Amino acid sequence: MGIVEFKNVSKFFGDKKVLEDADLSIEKGETITIMGGSGKGKTVFLKLLLGVLKADKGHIYFHGKDIGEMKEKNVVSMRRHIGMLFQGAALFDSLSVAENVAYPLREHFDYDDNAIAKIVTEKLGLVGMPGVEELMPAELSGGMKKRVGLARAIATDPDIILYDEPTTGLDPANTKRICNLILELQHKLKVTSIVVTHDMESAFRVTDRIAMLSNYKFEFVGTKEEAKNSSIPLVKHFINGDMDTNDG
Amino acid sequence: MNGTKVVNSAEKLGGFVYTMDKRLVSFMNDLGGVTILSFKTFIGVFKYRFDFKELVRQFSIIGNRSLSIVSLIAIFTGMVIALQLSIGLGRYGLKLNVGQLVGIAIFRELGPVLTCLMVAARVGSGIAAELGSMVVTEQVLAIEAMGANPINRLVVPRVIATIIACPLLTVLADLIGCFGGMLVTVKEASVTTQFYIDQIRTTVLVEDFVSGVSKSVFFGFFIAIIACYEGLKTSGGTEGVGQATTKAVVYASIVIFISDFFLTKLLLYI
């Protein structure tokens, strides 16, 4: 069994179907990219995995445990093992960089201030942002915010890092830097990475496998080479960029 | 011709009923949502670790936002009430009683209601805008993803801080309002300040003061919980934040006026 398993997962919002009988298995240590058109359920997939949303049907397993069956207390402690980098970094405006990175540590552990400060400095160093502890998020550029967001995502030494559109809105230099960071963290921390992105170039740089969401399920799951050589029209169109992502 | 008119009228009526139906459903949804949020907030106070630092931060924000405006509104309200009463009571030769009525009006009604309306405008809008922005920038989702509870982190401190701040601001507004009334009464009714103060002291009973302050506790709760609810259900980007802010102020103001009547009536029996 993989570190994450989606089995016949369905999710509806009122009459709107988002996922239906979706299956996906994610192996420990791999980097998988989730692709699909806008509104096809990529973010819903991440929220289901975090336990923020509950599946209407089917089972989601994390480390072999069904998230749907977990008590709230266990879902909260499960989140210690999952770090997430949000599309806009989602740093708390009212907190300094150090306080932002320390946030999940204070939530999950009883470390004293010195221990937290040490971890914060270490994680900021890992993402190439040393010495910015006292800055406020408003003082950071888009790329810097993403890197601080990444430091926050890895603060608790998670088993899985979720990247929601990690390169969206970044210039080419910062896009490259974020991709390198994903690869570096993958190498140093041996984490499982789940990347949701539209950016094909970045996806092919960082990923081991690609899963494509269409028609409410994962229509294609395979290695990046398989995706490149795929004769499935959906995959070909998406990779070539000649598909309307809204029609996904 | 008549047949067409009937069809048009029926269509208009149908449209009106449909709109009212949608509004009623939306109102019931909001009422249910606010009730559930109130319940979760109440549970959250006891269930989760209390963030005292955040409570103090919110309390100081509320003070900063409201103190000057509440003081300004209070002094001019006291002054204008005294002025109007001087005119009205003067017609019956009762100018000497202005202080008594100013005291009753401010302590029982104007102090809590006007103060809390100002808090709704300044603080309620701020809370809704802040939480709304946090929703659209995924900060609320981030709080949840990092294992914290958004209600405990965001709603509980704001609700408690507003519940504490409103009565304190009301007491301040009561005193400043009476002072404003004194400035005008002394001139208009030709009474001494000591006479004015004595009139208030003999007329305004402890229950008048308690009634006003107690109402402000409820108003504070309504302001904060409505603002938090509107903020947390924000959708649609920056436009949604604007709508949430407007709704928070409008709904809180309406609730203050409606609940004022019932709370006043209720407090008469206690």
With contacts defined as CB-CB under 8 Å, which chain A residues touch B135? Answer: none
Please state the ipTM of this predicted complex: 0.88
Q: Which of residues 180-219 of A touch B (CB under 8 A)?
A: none
The 10s digit of each residue's pLDDT in B177-232 is 999 999 999 999 889 999 999 999 999 999 999 999 999 999 999 999 999 999 99
Of A90, A108, A152, the CB nearest to B147: A108
Give all strands of the β-sheet with A209-214 in edge-to-edge order: A82-85, A160-164, A192-196, A31-36, A209-214, A217-223
Q: State the smallest CA–CA distance between residue B30 and chain A in angstroms.
A: 17
| Closest-CA residue of chain B to A91 | B139
Vertex A62, ends A59 and A65: CA angle to 5°? 70
Q: What is the pLDDT of residue A83?
A: 94
Best of A44, A52, A100, A103 to substitute, by most chain B Cβ atoms within 10 angstroms, is: A103
Residue B132 has pLDDT above 70, yes or no: yes
Q: Which residues contact A223 (CB under 8 A, 6 or more apart)?
A: A208, A209, A210
CA distance A193 to chain B (A): 16
pLDDT tens, N- to C-terminus, chain A (248 residues): 789 999 999 999 988 999 999 999 999 999 999 988 777 888 899 999 999 999 999 999 999 999 999 998 899 999 999 999 998 899 999 899 999 999 999 989 999 999 999 999 999 999 989 999 999 999 999 889 999 999 999 999 999 999 998 988 888 888 888 898 889 888 888 899 999 988 888 888 899 999 998 888 898 999 988 988 888 888 888 777 765 544 43
The answer to whether A79 contacts B142, with C-beta atoms less than 8 Å apart, is no
